[in-house]
Amino acid sequence: MKQNPFDRPADPTPANPITIAHPTPLQWPHKGNFESLDMASVRRGYEVYKQVCSACHSMKYRYYRHFSDPEFGFMTEEEAKAEAAEALIDDLSDKGQPIKRPGKLIDRLPSPYPNKIAAEAANIGKYPPDFSTIMLARRPHGFAPRFNTNSNEDYIFSILTGYMDAPAGVKVDDGQAYNPYFPGGVIAMPQQLFDDGIEYKDGTPATQSQQAKDICSFLRWSAEPFHDKRKEWALKGLVLLPLVTVIILYMKKHTWSLIKSQKVKWHTVKGREPPSSQPKST
């Protein structure tokens, strides 16, 4: 049976409590200069967010209309409308009274908490970060951002699948958990993904690693909805680059050919010779 590249081997136990485990580089479907996002995985990742992550994390920069956008969406318009209608959106009635109504495409994804203070109070004083662009902000500890790297996905995947019992000498308070991939080892988010913790609509087995892969794909889509379009335009640019280069070189040669072919020669006019630099001997 073919091994799933996202199935993690034995959990790496750090040699000492302050050691930070480095994520294993994984072969993401969108890794590479001309690879596109796996939209089926993105859609399953939204299911993971909806059923698991949305209980604590907001996505205030994402609207339901983004799900059905003709350029980068992963749903039909009717499916996006149905998803929006399941949410209850805070609004005002015609008389100015606060009400809750079914969501529309123009609404952003609702936040699980009314404000930051309420979010911290419900999570042992820690504020759950917004997920809209978190894929661009989270990378392995000590790793500098590099061009065209998927280390952010590797890091989040490792965090979601790397929970283990704390080694001797590490204190973990109530509501916290130990994760060797998190700086310091102690993280305020307990393990959230479990085998068969959710049920995918397309029937894909919901293993822990599958859920982690799909939510990472969805977060990459959320952080870069134009991900595929960016690579598409880069490919078009590379196709046109040789033609543009030839035109530029021709115009350069045409513009400078007259100047570079000129020859300047100075003629001395009789009676207007320049003075001699050496004095005449007497």
Cβ-contact 83, 111 below 8 angstroms: no
CA distances from 150 to 6, 22, 66, 182 (A): 14, 13, 23, 17
Question: What is the Cα–Cα distance from 167 to 161, expressed in whole angstroms?
Answer: 17
**262: which DSSP letter?**
-
Is 56 annotated for ligand binding? yes
Q: What one-letter code names the amino acid at 206?
A: A
Query: What pTM value is reported for the model?
Result: 0.80
Tokens representing 81 are 């409308």
Q: Which residues of 188-198 are buried (b: 16+ CB within 10 A; e: fewer)?
A: ebebbbeeeeb
- pLDDT score recorded for residue 270: 81
Cβ-contact 159, 20 below 8 angstroms: no
Q: What is the CATH number of the domain that holds 130?
A: 1.10.760.10
Question: What is the Cα–Cα distance from 195 to 215, expressed in whole angstroms?
Answer: 14
Whether 246 is covered by a domain: the verdict is no
Whether 179 is covered by a domain: the verdict is yes
Whether 167 is covered by a domain: the verdict is yes
What is the distance between the terminal CA atoms of the chain, rounded to a whole angstrom? 108
Question: What is the Cα–Cα distance from 134 to 94, expressed in whole angstroms?
Answer: 37
Whether 181 is covered by a domain: the verdict is yes
Is 53 annotated for ligand binding? yes
**Residues of the domain holding 44:** 39-226
**For tokens 């990459």, what's the residue?**
220
Is 164 annotated for ligand binding? no
- pLDDT score recorded for residue 261: 83
Tokens representing 93 are 């009635």
Q: For every one of its 282 residues, what pLDDT tens digit does the chain have, with 9 covering 90 and above?
A: 455 555 554 444 443 445 678 898 999 999 888 899 999 999 999 999 999 999 999 999 999 999 999 999 999 999 999 999 999 999 998 989 999 999 999 999 999 999 999 999 999 999 999 999 999 987 765 554 554 456 899 999 999 999 999 998 889 999 899 999 998 899 999 999 999 999 999 999 999 999 999 999 999 999 999 999 999 999 999 999 999 999 999 999 888 988 888 887 777 888 787 777 666 665
Whether 255 is covered by a domain: the verdict is no
- pLDDT score recorded for residue 221: 96
CA distances from 174 to 31, 183, 184, 190, 222 (A): 38, 18, 16, 10, 32
- How many domains does the chain fold into? 1
Percent of residues in the chain assigned helix, strand, coil, to nearest 5: 35, 5, 60
- pLDDT score recorded for residue 10: 42
Whether 277 is covered by a domain: the verdict is no
Cβ-contact 217, 38 below 8 angstroms: yes
Question: What is the Cα–Cα distance from 54 to 69, expressed in whole angstroms?
Answer: 22
Residues 6 or more apart whose Cβ sits within 8 Å of residue 165: 178
Q: CB count, 10 Å around CB of 24?
A: 13
Tokens representing 227 are 């991900």
Whether 80 is covered by a domain: the verdict is yes
Whether 11 is covered by a domain: the verdict is no
